[in-house]
A = this chain, B = another copy of it.
Amino acid sequence: MIPDISALHSEYRKSKLSEGELHENPIYQFEKWLTDAIDAKVKEPTAMTLATVNENNQPSARIVLLKFVNEKGLAFFTNYQSRKGNELNKNPKAALVFFWTELERQVRVEGKVSKLSRKISNEYFNLRPKESRISAIISPQSQPIPNRQFLENRVAEYLKNNNEIITPENWGGYILTPRTFEFWQGRENRLHDRFLYKKIGKRWKISRLAP
């Protein structure tokens, strides 16, 4: 029997968020909060939940790591034939959520993904430690496998054959181009501060949402 969880929650008292302090561009606002999370030594500050949808309108979601952010959007890398890869190839609409509990902050993003260039994917692939590059090469991501030994054998075989360690064809990056951004700062008594940025043409419209 698990403990009674119904009353488990924290009161959020650390901070607040007001109209005046918001940057007019949500990418800069995001970079500020991400930097705060890194400075506060949040564990896995770049971890985000990525939500995708399959052809039966069933959403799925999993953690991925943000690998860069710039004026075009937020980037991550994966196996293009993984479940998320397959779903994004058919429906590029996706959502992201960051939750930095230590700062009582949440960021939500929605938009469409597109594939990053082979050049950018190669550059990032080559930054990764050798062992994790080999894992990416030998792992048929999201497919059923008989046991752990299967993976370990494939790694050993790959090393024994002295194969080149180059980016697999089916591996690379996506960038999510945001259409909406929401910044959520937890407040006491569930009266949280929420601000929604919505892209209208080339401009961002900001509104406060009821918590």
Interface set of A (CB-CB < 8 Å, partner B) = 1-3, 5-10, 18-19, 31, 34-35, 38, 43-47, 49, 51-53, 56-63, 65-69, 91, 93-97, 99, 101-102, 106, 108, 110, 124, 127, 129, 131-132, 134-136, 139-148, 151-152, 155, 188-191, 193, 196, 207-211
Contacts and interface: CB of A to CB of B under 8 A. Distances in A.
Contacts of A56: 93
A194 B193 CA distance: 36
A31 to B, nearest CB: 5
Given A5-B67, A5-B68, A65-B9, A148 B208 contact: yes
A143 B210 contact: yes
Question: What is the total number of copies of this protein in its complex?
Answer: 2
Given A8-B45, A131-B189, A145-B210, 12 more contacts: A2-B69, A8-B46, A44-B101, A51-B60, A57-B57, A59-B61, A61-B95, A61-B108, A63-B97, A135-B189, A135-B191, A141-B210
